[in-house]
Amino acid sequence: MNTVKIATRYLKTSIITILGISLTQLASAAGLMTPMNSSLPELEIKQHHVEVTVEDGYAITSVTQVFYNPNDTSLEALYSFPVPEKAAVGEFTYWIDGQPVTGEVLEKEEARNIYEQEKAQGRETALTEKDDHKTFYSSVYPVLPKQDVKIRLVYIQAVHTDHGIGQYVYPLEDGGVDEEKLAFWSYNDKVTEAFSFNMKIRSSYPIEDVRLPKHPQAIASSTSNQEWSISMQNSQASNLVDSEANTQEILEGASTLPSTTPSGTQNIVQTLDQDIVVYWRHQKGLPGAVDMVAHKEPNQSRGTFMMTITPGDDLKQINEGRDWIFVLDFSGSMQGKYQSLIEGVNRGLGQLNPNDRFRIILFNDSANEITRGYTLATPENVTSYTQQLENTSPTGGTNLYRGLEEGIDDLDADRSSAVILVTDGVANVGTTEKKAFLKLLERYDVRLFTFVMGNSANRPLLNSMAKISNGFAMSVSNSDDIVGKMMLATSKLTHEAFHDMEIEIDGIKVKDLTPEKIGSVYRGQQLILFGHYWGSGKANVTIKGKVSGEQKIYKTSFEFPAQSQLNPEIERLWAFATIEDLQNQIDYLGYEDDFKDAITDLAKEYGLVTNYTSMIVVREEVFKQLNIARNNDKRVKTEQAARQQRATQGVRDNRKDAQQPAFNTHRSYPSGGSGGGSSDIWFVLLLLPVLLSSLRKTKNNNA
């Protein structure tokens, strides 16, 4: 029997973290980079084409670009691009002599050395590297005078639905928090000729509607309720104004995309400075379910599986009063955001019930509480402390640790509490080590909820903090439906949750499960589990979790296939999820060397760009001279062949528990309202530039 579990915790306090609250970004993360104050001429992004396919529980994004050198000198192209959270970069292709050459993954230093050597020899070469948690960079050499170069990047990611709402984000924006980068680089993010974004959604479950909040001119069409296509060309993608006349949310059932729209005028300059966010809403009344896709080559004993568990709606709504602790960042990086923060806090405090209490802590280089302990939320107190906030100005560094420490100190064990941490997410003063933040949360009985906005926030830090405290993390883009995000968050935080989750699989041999530990599962969430299996046959799957201290058990049985070759990408997804687990252990335990070696070995075997590995492209004869095996090239070709085969087939039903349902209730869907009470606070806040969110926590065990 194989079990994934997490130890029981009795949590008395919740924290909300909101990152990157600016409406406008200081710099685009996607674009060609040129050093500031240099005499180097700029290159152009001539073409930018995005192809996305969402099917079988994961998304494949292919980005093809053409760079052009309008100058009389050969230049090197340096292109920066963010990728979505939990996305694995697995293909980097550079066209040499008109032929595509796919990169191979090597240790980071080795890949960089080869790139520099080839560049010094004047030979074609390209490199993709990861810059810690923030951005990926592709270097391409040479871009000859008056000539083009062509590259392609492909990444894959598991796709979750939340309350029956699916979401895909093509990230382009930057959070504007890396001041050194902003001071050094200038960006050219304009596509001078052709831009396109094409997306196909192929779902096992019926889709009622599709929506792009910031791109209302997009073309959407469906061949059935399980297959949708979305496309944008230059003129459509350049219309990035959020129409006030089109504010109905997809969560309320609004049909917002025209099924037929003229493609519009071509050759309009497109700027890569706004995320493309796509929502799709599944038909209501769908059952809770267990889905699975597997990959197992003929004559291989070991296969890989991806199991998606969508619980039924067995979680009840809960209500009680609370204390509110506002921990507010007023460091220098909050310039331009601070007034919006104050306005949001003021309106939020104004919505509190008279018996609610609040505290306000400010932090920059240090932390200071401006309230004198817990203060009743009377109109007089709200006005007084809001005025004190108005009298402060952002300055200094960001001592995130000290602010958080001050906020979770002196909690009242007899009352439910919410700690709202508002920051841009970059700790640069005092304690900054990830391990220290995790140890801090372990010392207190707290639950952390993170709402991460922007593509430069320290997502690994906030995600790990949420996980270790049994909370959850929700990413938010400036292009999101903010009210829609609020509705999903409120539903989680005003209902019970599953805690101490365990998945047991027996009947066949199963190992290497990831995530190694499952955190809590909240209303509307899905649980995705990767692993290896040996042999084939019927397996018994048991899902366990505690709800308000009561054990819940769900069971089903289904077949693991002896052979399955349509989804080779899940091998990379398994490796990426395993690397995440190993990286979390590095962050928590601090033993980097052993885990680093394991991450490097996995990344090289499965062709993944990580903190320790990069992807290098050289001429085919150079690969041979350097004795670099073409393992990733072979894997890419296998994946491409499988995609072509899937495209010729109909949508597959991946539900495995239809004959023996694990759940006897329908899956969760948004209610479409706030539910009244203190939840209204968060609707006010979320409709403002300050991105805050709701929370709910009971004093009972694991509610």
Nearest to 52 by CA among 213, 193, 171: 171
Cβ atoms within 10 Å of 601's Cβ, excluding its own: 12
Q: What is the DSSP string of 422-437?
A: EE-S---SS---HHHH
Residue 186: predicted pLDDT: 62
Query: Angle CA(119)–CA(120)–CA(123) in degrees, nearest 5?
Result: 45
Q: What is the dotted CATH code of the domain comprising 325-497+671-686? A: 3.40.50.410
pLDDT value of position 210: 92
Q: Where are the beta strands (DSSP E) in 5-158?
A: 13-19, 31-35, 44-55, 58-68, 75-81, 87-96, 99-102, 104-107, 125-131, 135-143, 148-158
Report the pLDDT value the prediction gives residue 666, as an integer from 0 to 100. 93
Is residue 154 within 8 A of residue 61, CB to CB? The reply is yes
Compute the half-sphere exposure of residue 221: CA atoms within 13 Å on the CB side of its CA: 8
Please provide residue 29's backbone torsions phi and psi, each rounded to the nearest 5 degrees: -85, -25
Query: b/e per residue, 660-674, with b = 16+ CB within 10 A?
Result: ebbbeeebbbbeeeb
Q: Could you tell me which of 357, 440, 375, 366 has the C-alpha nearest to residue 405?
A: 440
CA 320 to chain centre: 31
Nearest to 429 by CA among 397, 461, 402: 397
Residues 497-506: b if buried by 16+ CB within 10 A, e if exposed: bbbbbebbbe
H-state helical runs in 324-375: 338-350
Question: What pLDDT is attached to residue 329?
Answer: 80
CATH code, residues 31-282: 2.60.40.1730
pLDDT mean for each 10 residues of the chain (703 residues)? 40 44 39 61 88 96 92 87 84 95 97 97 95 78 92 94 90 57 61 92 94 85 94 60 33 35 44 85 94 95 97 80 79 68 71 80 90 88 88 83 85 72 71 80 69 56 71 58 57 76 95 89 92 97 91 96 97 96 77 84 96 96 97 97 95 96 91 43 38 32 40
Kind and range of the H or E run holding 553? strand 550-560
Pairing of strands 446-453, 472-476: parallel
Q: Are 131 and 653 contacting, i.e. CB atoms less than 8 angstroms apart?
A: no
Domain ranges, ordered by start, for the chain? 31-282, 325-497+671-686
Residue 359's φ and ψ, nearest 5 degrees, are: -130, 155
Closest-CA residue to 127 (of 150, 94, 159, 155):
94
Q: Quote the CA–CA distance of 703 and 701 in Å, as a whole number.
A: 6
Amino acid at 351: Q
Domains 31-282 and 325-497+671-686 share a fold: no
Label each residue of 568-579 as H, E or C: CHHHHHHHHHHH
